[in-house]
Every structure is written in structure tokens, then in C-alpha cells.
Amino acid sequence: MTTETPTPQEMDKDHLVIRHPDGSVTKIALPPQVGDTIRLGRELDNDVPLPDPRTSRHHAYIRRTVKDSLEICDVGSANGTIVGSLRLQANEWYPLAPGQVVMMGDTRVLWEQALSSQDTIGMMPIAGPKTTPVAKKSSQKSASWMPWAIGAAILLLLLLAIWGIFALLKPADTSITAATPAAGAPADIAQQTPEGATEGGQPVLPTETPTPKRPMAPAVPFVSLEDLRFLPVISGALFDTEHVYMIGTVRIENLGDEPFTVSTHQFTLQTDTGEVLKELGRELAPSEFKRMGVTDRFNNLALRSGGSVSEELIFYLETKAYNLTLSFTPDGFEPLVMETGTVYAGEQLAQLLGTPVAEGTMVASASPAISDTTPTAAAVSAVPSDGYLRSIPDSSLVGTIAYADFNGATYDLFFGNVATGDSIFWRGETSQPAFSNSGERIACHSWANNSRGLITSNMDHSNGFLVGTFIEDQLPTWSPDDGQILFLSRRTGTRQSQFYLAPSNIERPEAQFIMEGEYPTWHASNNVVFKGWGNSGEGLKMAPDGSNLSDFNPLTEHIGDTAPSISPDGKKVAFMSNRNNNWDIYIINIDGSNLQRLTTDDAQDGLPTWSPDGKAIAFVSNRGGPWSVWAMTSNGTGIEQLFTYQGSPDGFVASEPTHDSTRGWAEERISWSAKTY
């Protein structure tokens, strides 16, 4: 373990002591002024960067409210912020006491007060009473009581001194400021502060005027232009010498409290003649994004308080000079305008191609501006007229997606309306949902004590059955006729990953052992795709007959491939994999050919599921900060956000600490039904 030792001057400052997951410890001086705020999170633009993959890009704020008082606020992090035993509600301010441990992912943070503010009681030497020499009396007997009197006086003084020390150490009142939550905070926050805590080196008096909660401010969008770069346009086999791509990187932040939505189409360029140039990226194929090195593109992203996200914008310019302004117009807000200055598009292209600058390219932008229509395939090969799907059709964004949200202790199951973006709570202590093929019933894993295992029921909770009776029974999937449930279990004493088969409409049936394997998915065509384990090998496998799983063909060979989902037509399989040291979504033909990687974001992408018409894939991701359910076309374009998690898809149920019954989000599932419930 390594530590950074502060100097004597630094020791007289308040510090945040940060214990990182690798055991190293860092001390960060806290700002001294009332109102000063610091931001903590995974990105380097935070005041305190946390190199912890389980923290969010922007995780929490800490601010000073009065001289010796701090407050903390979680800004909608994926894995939450825990103070003591309390998980903080997002965007609520809570008091923080000195020495309280704050957990952000696997990082421990605590407030260490300055030495001058800490409790210190000087233990001074206790001297005996000063005595005056006494003349010796002629009678020895008359003076014999004096040593006893002096001893008794010394003992009495010692007892008085000890009593005084204990009086100083005893708190004057057990009601303390740190135990009083800010306005609007849950009442049980007081449980996280030990009795007898002090503030500023003095016992805290009963609080009559607790620090009020900061009034909630509306969303406050803020945008800054970080970079401009240029790339040539390829037309057929040749470079287009009359046009160039301009790629602008902007950073959008929410400085308010309420969320607002971020999309690429909210950005436009204007020339000084009033012409409008639309953002082109939504019309480009994935191959073009890869060629350009463009990865940060978000649509319908709910940016929460304190959130920050980078957007890469693509514009199509003629090779001439422009005076441009870039406008960002979030829904419900006035435009935010940034000056880009004069852009010499022709000179930029000439530098890219290594050719002389064409005459006239430095002329001001009085020449005719580009039309606000999108370039056609005849002009730009990156916009082909081949029917390639680049955005999700509205007709695909229908039905219901079931997803499990970890609340810090267990999972809650929600139903999300894909068309409206609204979510409703369906059942507590439940995860791993799977809609039946008919859409009339649902199977899921129950963590509740009165129904531990796998349950099936109607959408109104009627006609329910406990079909898997072990807590290790998980990831149910329906047979084509909805009459049986195939599931993974580690119920044996050896904790092997095994498949079992049970009737879907019988209470506590006897399940039949099938074979070894993990994460099964049973398709309406009777194909079963699963993750190999044990004697079934590594990678994904495909059994063409669900009644004979041992007769399977390999699809992939990588041990990190998991969570398969079969397309409605049965021709393709989407899955998640960490084969490139990051969880991403991949797609492969059912015969094992044509493997493609669909997501390349640095964030975690996983748990794919197909739309009922097969034109879209929903998945779970923490791109943009908060965990959300996203959707994209089946070729990886048109990515947009559907629902935002209140917590996270990744969690370990506290009542079930064994690795055999809870393994986090890699053994979770989301499910998409054509019906709306």
C-alpha cells in the first residue's frame, strides 16, 4: 500500500482521504470557502478523478456549506453512493460527518479534518499541593495525623481531576448536526453517524436550524467546442475535390438539477449569410464512422444533473471559406451559440490531399452557401442508396421491454413502454425476465423469501407457479409452445453449471437434468443457443433441436461470449462479449459465419434483445454516464436511448452472497415483447 504524506502546512487543512481499489491512498485538500464544490468521478475532467471502473464518469459532488460542515450529492451514478449503510438518493444533498466512510464503487472516501479542528484534550501533570514547612512540635503524637491528612487531600484532588477529564470527554448532547439530514433527505440517514460524534472539535449542540436543501434548479445546458478536424470525402474510388467533412467535438454539461435530452440533430451550423447546414452523421453508414474514427454520438440521451458527455458532429462543406457559428438547441431551450471563426475548407482539403490550394478558396463566404439538403449518393459514396438501414423505424419502437434495476440490496423489475419511454414498476425482488412467445406470460427469477427460485405468471400476476425451487435456478427461457422452461442452475453440491427442464404451469415440479452449460436461449424455431461450460466447451453453441441439446454446433470459441439472443427470423444471434477487453455487442449468423462487432464505445454495452420485427436491438449500457436501455439498428447505427435506470443492472443481492446464485449483470437479461401491458 502506498500513501502520500502531507506537509505540516497541509496537515492543518481538511482533506479527503481516498483509498483506491488497488490499496493505494491519496489525500486531497478540500476547498476552504463556503459554497466551494468538488466533483468526483471516473473521467479526467473531474476535480478528483477516481480510477475505478465501478465509478461513473461523473459520480458525486461534495461541497462546503459552513466553515466546518460538508454535504455530499450523488449525481445519478450507475452503482450509487453509500454513506455508512445508507444508499443516497440521486440529486439529493446529504450532510457528511468527519470520519464517515463513503463508498463509490470499490473506492472508499472519508473526510479527515484539519488538526486544528480535531478533538484534543491536553493531559497536564497533576501537582501535589504546595506545602509550608511546619515547626517541629515537642509532642511527637500530636503531629502523627498530618501525613494522613495530606495524603487524603492529594487523593481528593486526583479524584476531582479525573472526574473533570471524564466530564470533558462526555458529549453534552447526543443530538448532532451530522445526523440531521438536509431537507428532503430520508429520515434514516441519522443511522449512519455514530453517537457522540463531534463537529469542528466541539460537541455539536442540538440543531434548531438544519442546513436547508438547496432549491432544485431547472436544467442548465452548457456546451463548449473542444476540437475541429477535417477528413476527405471519397466518391467512388476517388477523392471528392469539391467537398470535405468537418468533424466538430463538443462537450455538453448539465449545470442544473433537472435532466434534459441531448441528440445530434439539435446541432446546426449557420453561415454569416444565414444559410443552415444540417448535421450529417445520422445519414452515414457504420463503415464511415469507423473510417472517420467517430465514436461519441448520442441521441435521446437524458443528461442528468452534473452529467457531461462528448458529441462528435459531422458536417459536409464545400471547399471554400466560411464564417460559421455552431448552435445547440436542446428541447425547450433557446439556442446556445458558439463562434467557430473563419474556416478555410479548401485549404484544409488541400493539406489533407497534399495538393496546392485551389485559387479562390480563401475568398470570404459571400459565395453561394450549401443547400440544407443532405448530399445524395451520386455526390458522396458514404450515403449509398442501397436501402441500408441507418436509423430505427418508428414502427420498430413499439411494445414492452422488461428490465431489472438493482436498488442497492436487490432487484426490482420494470416494464418500459418503448413507444412512450415511460416505465412502470412490475414486481420487487425479481430479475432475469423472459416474455413467453405468446406474450401472455412471463418467467423470471424471484429473490423473495416466499418464492425463491423461478416463477411464471400472467402479466397481472395471476396464475403464478414456482417452477424452479432453488435460489441457484436462473435465466429461464420458454419452449416454442410455452409449455416448458429451460433454465441454468448450480443447485448441486459441486456447483456445476447445468441445464434443467421443467413444466411452466405446474407448482414445484420435478426438474429434469439435461446437460452442462450456461445462459440458454430457446427460439420459436426450436433452436437453442447457449454459452458452453464444462464438457460443452467454451464460446457459444447452437443446438438445432431443443429436445436434444447435446447435438450442438459451435458458433464462437471465445470464453467471454455470453447472453445470446436469437433474431425473430432465426437467422442471426446477437450477444455480448469482452473479447476486446470491454463489454460490447456482437452479431453472428446462426451458422457461425459473418461475425460483426456492433458497438465500439468505451462504455459497457451488453444484454442484447431483438425487437419483435427484427429491425432493432435493445441493449443495456452506461454510455453517457447513467445506466440505460438503448436501441440501435441491427447493423449498429441509429443508437438512441429508451429508458434510464434508477440504479444499475449490475448488483449482488445482499441476502444471497454466494457466487452460485448472484453474478451481477453478466447473468441478467432484458426481454422485448410486441405487446404493451
3-state secondary structure 119-146: CCCCCCCCCCCCCCCCCCCCCCHHHCCH
Q: Which of 274-288, 347-361, 416-430 has the highest mean pLDDT?
A: 416-430
First to last CA, the chain: 53
SS3 category, 202: strand
Q: Cβ distance 626 to 613 under 8 Å?
A: no
Residue 382 above 50 pLDDT?
no
**Predicted pLDDT at 358:** 42
Cross-strand pairs, 631: 618, 640
Between 236 and 482, residue with greater pLDDT? 482
CB count, 10 Å around CB of 217? 11
Q: Which of 118-132, 259-273, 522-536 has the highest mean pLDDT?
A: 522-536
Q: How confident is the model at residue 505 (pLDDT cuts 50, 70, 90)?
A: very high
Place of cell 441521441: 299
**Predicted pLDDT at 11:** 47
Q: Cβ distance 335 to 327 under 8 Å?
A: yes
Domains of the chain in start order, with CATH, are 8-117+172-203 (2.60.200.20), 221-353 (2.60.40.1240), 398-673 (2.120.10.30)
- Angle (CA) 476-403-608 rounded to 5° is 75
DSSP 80-132: -EEETTEEPPBT-EEEE-TT-EEEETTEEEEEE--GGGS--------PPPP--
- Give all strands (DSSP E) within 148-291, no chain letters: 198-199, 202-203, 221-235, 238-254, 260-262, 267-271, 276-278
pLDDT, tens digit (0-9, with 9 covering 90-100), for 191-248:
333 333 333 333 333 343 444 444 556 888 888 888 888 888 876 667 888 899 999 9
CA dist list (Å): 461 to 11, 426, 427, 441? 60, 9, 9, 9
**Predicted pLDDT at 155:** 66
**Predicted pLDDT at 371:** 32
Between 118 and 473, residue with greater pLDDT? 473
Rounded to an integer, the average pLDDT of 275-290 is 80
In this structure, the dihedral spanned by the alpha carbons of residues 660, 560, 432 and 60, taken in order and rounded to 10 degrees, is: 90
Q: Cβ distance 275 to 324 under 8 Å?
A: no
Q: Cβ distance 643 to 324 under 8 Å?
A: no
In the chain, the amino acid numbered 233 is V
**Choice among 58-67, 205-214, 454-463, 564-573 with the minimum mean pLDDT:** 205-214
**Predicted pLDDT at 148:** 56
Q: Which of 213-222, 375-384, 446-455 has the highest mean pLDDT?
A: 446-455
Q: pLDDT averaged over the chain? A: 78
Q: How confident is the model at residue 376 (pLDDT cuts 50, 70, 90)?
A: very low
Q: Cβ distance 29 to 14 under 8 Å?
A: yes
**Predicted pLDDT at 641:** 86
Helical H segments across 204-302, by residue range: 286-292
Q: How confident is the model at residue 150 (pLDDT cuts 50, 70, 90)?
A: low
- Angle (CA) 113-16-41 rounded to 5° is 155
Tell me if the pTM is above 0.95: no
**Predicted pLDDT at 504:** 96
SS3 category, 192: helix
**Predicted pLDDT at 418:** 93
Q: How confident is the model at residue 503 (pLDDT cuts 50, 70, 90)?
A: very high
Residue 142 above 60 pLDDT?
no
Rounded to an integer, the average pLDDT of 293-304 is 78
CB count, 10 Å around CB of 259? 18
Grid coordinates standing for 452? 425463491
Rounded to an integer, the average pLDDT of 414-438 is 94
**Predicted pLDDT at 177:** 31
Rounded to the nearest 5°, which phi and psi values hold at 308? -145, 135
Grid coordinates standing for 574? 446477437
| Residue 153 Rama label (left phi>0; alpha psi -120 to 50; beta) | alpha
Q: How confident is the model at residue 497 (pLDDT cuts 50, 70, 90)?
A: very high
Q: How confident is the model at residue 386 (pLDDT cuts 50, 70, 90)?
A: very low
Residue 186 above 70 pLDDT?
no
pLDDT, tens digit (0-9, with 9 covering 90-100), for 109-127:
888 876 544 443 333 332 3
CA–CA separation, 578 vs 539, rounded Å?
12
Residue 388 above 90 pLDDT?
no
pLDDT, tens digit (0-9, with 9 covering 90-100), for 86-98:
888 889 999 988 8
Residue 434 above 90 pLDDT?
yes
Residue 471: closest CA among 219, 653, 280, 343: 653
CA–CA separation, 627 vs 407, rounded Å?
13
Helical H segments across 137-228, by residue range: 146-169
In the chain, the amino acid numbered 468 is G
**How far is Cα of residue 52 from the mean position of the Cα atoms in its chain?**
12
Q: Cβ distance 499 to 511 under 8 Å?
A: no
CA–CA separation, 677 vs 674, rounded Å?
10
532 burial via Cβ count (<10 Å: 0-12, 13-18, 19+): buried
Rounded to an integer, the average pLDDT of 119-139 is 34
SS3 category, 386: coil
Residue 43: closest CA among 58, 60, 25: 58
